[in-house]
Every structure is written in structure tokens, then in C-alpha cells.
Chain A
Amino acid sequence: MGRYLAQRVGQALLVLAATFTLAFLLLQALPGDAVLIKFLELGLTPEQLADIRIAYGADAPLWQQYLHAMGAFLTGNFGYSIRAGVPVTQLLAENLPSTLLLSALAFAAASLLALVLALLATLGGQGWVRALVRSVPSLFIAIPVFWLGIMLIQVFSFQLGWISIISPEPWEELILPVATIAVPISAPLAQVLIRNIDAVLAEPFVTVARAKGASHAWVLRWHVARNALLPVLTMAGVLFGELLGGAVVTEAVFGLNGLGGLTQQAVANQDVAVLQAIVVISAAAFVAINLLVDLLYPVLDPRLARGRRTA
């Protein structure tokens, strides 16, 4: 176990370093530069532009910039945002918490929605109800996220007037954005849950338990839930990347403050330092979540405790 742990952590760090490097190379290769984008319209002379570049260290050779950036990141210094004219850490401090909250709520809402759909689809009501509910996840996947968000605003905020999106109360601010992100995320979760509950219900031990007079609820709690929820944990790691993607779109639609909106602006203005920091943070989160899932899996599922290794 100790060796496995060390190996996984080592891999995770390796992936993180590779991500940093890949992102650095990708971002350096982008045409255009943030200094020109920001300052060209403002009538600076070529000499003044050059001065600004020197101030940002953007004139050094690439390998020096790379080593410098790597060293700075290791000490928690993410550099300076050219677009916003403030340190990147300040931007992150302003934007990260709200996106974390949004993502966490959205993932919780998606899990809940998926569970409700799965239970309805496997155990609920008439046959036709189940069949209908089973097609809901497919529909959820098929709706463009930004379109859903715009429609939700039009209907619930502007037409029905239930929710203010410009000056919301704290409790209402996140309702529509969470719904917007949660709908597409819930779909794969629901599909996995439905498939697993089906499989578990068909297994001999459940049939036996039922034959012995176990109630529906009991079967559900003790066998189905346990076996069906494990894959949800796995999915959490995979879906993380989509949460950020969903946040970019959702924050753009709702004009929310957060990492997603920051990403969009940074891409548009080629604010390389900000993008580098966002990549590293989300990669770190991705790697950490997947590591945690990998390590938790054997603990939760004793059958897999020996020698499991994810692909």
C-alpha cells in the first residue's frame, strides 16, 4: 500500500509538472501579446511599449522565462496580470472562492438530480414513467449549456420575475447558475447510476434478499446504494474538468464573478500569467481529486482492495 501510494503521488506530481510545461509552451506560442493588446489603442510610442515589456520580463529568452516562472510558481508567486494591472494572486483571491462554491453546489445538485432520476427510472411508478425518465439524461446532455442559461434567465428572471439576476439576494444569486451547470453534469451521473442499479437489482443476492422478505427500502439501502454509488465517485474526477468549462460559459452568461469569467477574459487578452495560473490550479485540483478517488476506491470497495490500478 505504501509503495502504491508513493507511486501514485509521484505520478500525480509528474503530471502536474508536465501540465505546467505544456501550458507554458502553448501559451508562449500564441500569436500577439498582451502588452500590445492592452496598450496599442492608448497611443504609446514603440519605446514605451518596449519599456512595459521589460517591466514584465517579457523580453528575456524563453528558457529563462520558463525557469523563472517555474521557480515563482513553486514559491506561490503567480506573476502579474497585464490586462488587469494587478498581481495574479489578487485576481485568484477575488475569483476562486466563488467558482469553488458554484462548482461544489453544482456538483451536489447534479448528484441529487441524478439520484432522483435514477431512482425514478429504476424503481419508480409505472413502466412508461420509467421509460420516459430514462430518456431525460440524454436530453440533458444534448442542450447547449449557454443556451440553457440564457433561456433560464429569460423565463425565470425576466418573464416570471421570480429571481433577480442583477441585484440578487445572497440566497438567489446562485440558483440559476447552479441549475445551468448541474443539468448537463447530472446526465452521465444518472446514466451510470441507472445502469448500476439495474445490474445490482438483477444480481442473485438481491433476489435472495427479496425472497427472504426484505423490503424495497432495505434492499435499496444496503445493497444498491453501496454498489451503485461507487462509480459516482469515479465520475467526480472525470467531470471536474467539465465543471470549469461549465463555469466559463455560465459565468459569462450570468455575468458572475469567478474563475470562468477570468479565464474567458484572460484568453481574449492573452493574459498569459493568469492563464498559466489557472491551468496549474485546475490541473492540481484535477490531479488531487483523481488521486483521492483512486485511493478511496479500494477502501470503499473491499473487493478491489488488492492491486487495483486505474487506466
Chain B
Amino acid sequence: MPLRRRETLAAVLASPAILRTLPAEAQPATPVRGGTLIYLEQQTYTQLYPPAGGFYPNGGVLNQITDKLTYQNPRTLEIEPWIAESWTTNADRTEYVFKLRPGVTFSDGTKCDAEAVAKNFDNFGLGNRDLRYPVSEVISNYQRSEVVDPLTVRFVFSRPAPGFLQGTSVIGSGLVSLKTLSTPFDQLGDATKIIGSGPYVVQRQTLGRELVLTARTDYAWGPKLHPHQGRALLDGIRFVVTGEDSVRIGALLAGQAHVIRQIQAYDEKQVKDRGFQLFAPSTRGVNNSVVFRPDNPLVAELAVRRALLHATNAQEIVDTLFSANYPKATSIIASTAQGYINLAEKLTFDPALSAKLFDDAGWTMGPGGVRQKDGKQLVLTAYESPPQPRNKDTLQLVAQQWAKVGVRLNVLAGDLGSRTLDSLDPARTPVAPAMVGRADPDVIRSQYHPLTRNVLLQAGGVATKVQNFADARLNALLDGIASEPDGEKRMALVADVQRYVIDQAYTIPIFEEPQVFAASPRLRGMGFEAVGRPSFYGAWLAAR
């Protein structure tokens, strides 16, 4: 009996499965209202205070329940009106004035007026010590707000803040009610505490498993130029956390879900072959990369970092593990990001050059094929980062490539606790995988600056184990990006930083990371904000 079952199982799994031919992308019929969308998420949301909502599972929820002052058109990247009908700014970008749309309310009935908006940005821009709110990484040099009249608010900055306008359009600047802004930070992992003005409202949640949103029937303030207006078409959205890759894709293909996030490159073909939709919006941010922590003496030397950069074959990684949706990186930021310059000629795979750099720097091949200098072996360590696509495999390939030039990279799979601690200690993790998505050049600053994400682990940040590494030149460039009011000069600085980081070989860019979604052929009108977070405002489900 057990044997027979095993055979059936194998036979069923081996068969090309139930092939259903579906009408491929029929003409966009008249949108239908109603229905509940089932969305399978890989991970649960963790923290929904908007400025801390960058993590994709958080952003996927926040984007449905909060509105922003402005809307960044995901195709043109232009900033368009949303809750703000219009805005003005002074020449040196130290003052912004927003005129708000009348009649906007939060889902608890309170008004989303100048006072509420001012309070939101006071918290975002300055943080809140009592409630333990961090300062938003998208807002720099914030000083104060002024309520001019009930529908006009002015923001004042201590230094030029050219990135602020775009900063008002991102997930991290989602507007929430005053009630939410009186809740301590550590309680905002609870979605029911997030009261926004968005097209959907949190109905119920089971922490870590499920979240149900319902459409707000009185919603009438979508982005002004959005093709859809009025209330959302769907009645609701059910987010189900489904960690197993095989269950997510299986459930979608079996018709049990409408859209899933994070599908692996090797499953893309079968999704398309079976008539399902595949979306791979770019995250337009810092590329998926391997970064060094130069505080660690092994990678403090420029020659070592440069040698490793040229020992890395990003093309092989992309070909082996990914698909056309994951373009090979040609800079530290994506080619779709603002201010991108092509640095491909500095990022060549050249094992001979790599070997020469090592030899010249005195790192000679030692026993076991591992290079050494002054009795020290070139053995490095990195933790895999599970949220990044196929990161374990990526690092294993990098390790294989580095092994060929005489460097050992140990890839660790640690528990979150040890990983978090060790990732702050350059002595333990001289190498780390990194990426971040955001459609503004400020993203480079937030990734590299010691007071924000600090991927290089410079002294002065949260990482207290750092001895003395700091790069004043880099930080000056980064601060410049955050405060240069002149658009052209700012882009020149962005180009400088890209060149500088690559010349210093602080980072080995691997690929431009997309967010990959697969959806049922029935789902229409699914949108994405500028860095690939889904928007279901205009989405609807066609009849079977």
C-alpha cells in the first residue's frame, strides 16, 4: 500500500500537471467592482510606522492603507499631486509649502488637514524621543513645520533639502492619524493601530499569519492623475503569509491565490508558460551587492578589495541563478535610478588582474590554495541575508569564484540574533550582502552614511565594535547629495559618489534587484509604486 502511494505521488508530480489554457491578456474589459483579492506574502510585516516601513512586506501593507502628500508616477518618476494639490519651494530648497486637498479623512473619521500633516512630518523629520520614533531616512535637514491655514502647511529646513519633495511620495511618508502618532513605536507592529487615509482599511489581523483589508467606500482622494478614481474596485484584500516558496507558487498555479510576491527566477518560465502574469518592477535603488567592512584589517587594503572585485564574475551569477529580470549591475545603483552612470568598464571580471593585484600587494599563495601575508590567511566571512533573492546561492557562487584566486569566503547561515550582532562587528563579518530600494539619489546616502544604514560600518554609528574606520571624503559627498539644492550639481555629486565607491572598491555590485510578482490572469489593473511595492488601488478581478 505505501509503495503504491509513492508511485502515484511520483507520477502526479512528474506529469506536466493540469494545463489550463487561459485567455491570455484579453482586452481590458470594463472594470468590475467587488471580490476579495488573495495575496500571498513570503514574510510577515514587522513594523508599520511609515518611516520604518521600508521592508517589502511592510511596504506592501502600508501602500494600501496610507496616502502620501505627493504621488511619484512610476513610469515617468514625475512628482504628481495627491493629498497635496499643489506646492511651492524657494530657490535654495529650504522651504516647502503644500496646499492640501479638502475633505480628506483618516479612517477613524478625523481630518487629514494641515495640522495632521504638520504633526506627521514633525515626527518623521525629527523623530520622537518619548515614543521612540526614529528619524525618517528620507528626510534630511528638517527643522520645523508651520500651519499656515487649515489646508496649507509650510516646512522649514536648516539646510537645503532638495530630496524632500520626492521624499513626501514614498512609503516612509505615509500619512497617519494623530491617534497613531501617539502610539509608542514598539506597538506599531500591530496593523490595527495604523490609521491611515488610504483606499483600504485594516479589518482584522492574525499576527504573523494573515491580514484582511477592506475597501473604504467613501474614499475619493486618489492620486490626481491616476487612471482610476474614486473608491477601490476590490471589496478587500487578504494577505496570507506563506513562507514556503513551493506552496506560494503551487497555490497560485492551482488557482487558490491571485497574486504572490517573491517568485524565484527558476519558476518564472512555468508561470508564463501557463498563461499567468509576471511582474518584475525594478527597485531603482542600490544594487544587490557584496560590501566590505574596511575596519577589518583583512579588507582594509584597497588592493585586496580591488582584487576581489575583479575576481567576482557577476555575469556568471546572473546567468546561473537569475533571469532577464535581474540585469547585471553596472554601477552601485540601478540603471533605472536617478543619477545613474555606467561604470561597467571599472567592474570587469579579470582573474589575471586580480591575481596581479594580490601578488603586488604581497598576498602570496599559501598552503591549501589560500593567500597569505605576514602569517595571516585571507579567510573572510559573510552571513547570508534570507530576504534577498537566492542570497545563499549568490554568496556560494561568490565563494567559488574567490576560491579560484586564493581567497576563502565562509558563508554562514546564522540565527537572526547572532546575525544581527555579528553584522555590526567588522571583525566577524568583513563581507556582507546588501541592497536597498528607493527612487531618489538620497538612497545612496542612506545606504552608506554612518548615521543611517552604514553598510560599510564606519565609526560613529550604531555599530560600537568599529575601531576607527571612517571615510570623511565619502561622507562629505553623501552629505552633499542630501543638501545640494541645484539639481544638476546634485546629479554630479551622485556620479562622483558612484565613481568614488567603485574606485575604493568598497562594494562589488552584482545585479539590479527587481521585485518579482506573479499573478492570476484574472487580476487586472495592478500597479506598482516607483520602487516596486504593489498598489491595489486600481486593481480588479475579471470574471473567470
Contact = CB atoms under 8 A, between A and B. Distances in A.
Interface of A: 30-34, 36-49, 51-52, 55, 82-86, 91, 94, 132, 136, 139, 150-151, 153-155, 157-161, 164-167, 252-253, 255-257, 261-262, 265, 267-270
Counting chain B CB atoms within 10 Å of each CB, which of A82, A91, A257 scores highest? A257
Given A157-B256, A166-B40, A43 B189 contact: no
B256 A167 contact: yes
B209 A37 contact: no
A48 B132 CA distance: 6
Contacts of A32: 415-421
Interface string B201-224: 000001111100000000000000
A44 B132 contact: yes
Interface of B: 1-2, 8-9, 12-13, 15, 17-18, 38, 40, 44, 46-47, 49, 52, 55, 127, 129, 132, 134-135, 137, 184-190, 206-210, 238, 240-244, 246-247, 250-251, 253-254, 256-257, 415-421, 424, 452-453, 462, 464
Contacts, number: 158
B247 A255 contact: yes
Majority secondary structure, B binding face: loop
A154 B257 CA distance: 15
A167 to B, nearest CB: 6
A136 to B, nearest CB: 6
B417 A31 contact: yes
B419 to A, nearest CB: 8
Nearest to A51: B132
Contacts of B243: 252, 255
B450 to A, nearest CB: 12
A154 B251 CA distance: 9
B240 to A, nearest CB: 6
B256 A165 contact: yes
A155 B462 contact: no
Contacts of A252: 243-244
Nearest to B454: A43
Closest 9 CB pairs of A and B: A32-B417, A85-B189, A42-B52, A158-B250, A166-B256, A257-B209, A158-B254, A270-B417, A43-B134
Contact of A262 (B127, B132, B189, B208): B208
30 contacts: A30-B417, A31-B417, A31-B421, A38-B46, A42-B47, A42-B134, A43-B134, A48-B132, A55-B186, A82-B186, A84-B190, A85-B189, A85-B190, A86-B187, A86-B190, A157-B250, A158-B253, A158-B254, A161-B254, A166-B38, A166-B240, A166-B256, A167-B38, A252-B243, A255-B242, A255-B243, A257-B208, A262-B208, A265-B44, A269-B416
Contacts of A262: 208
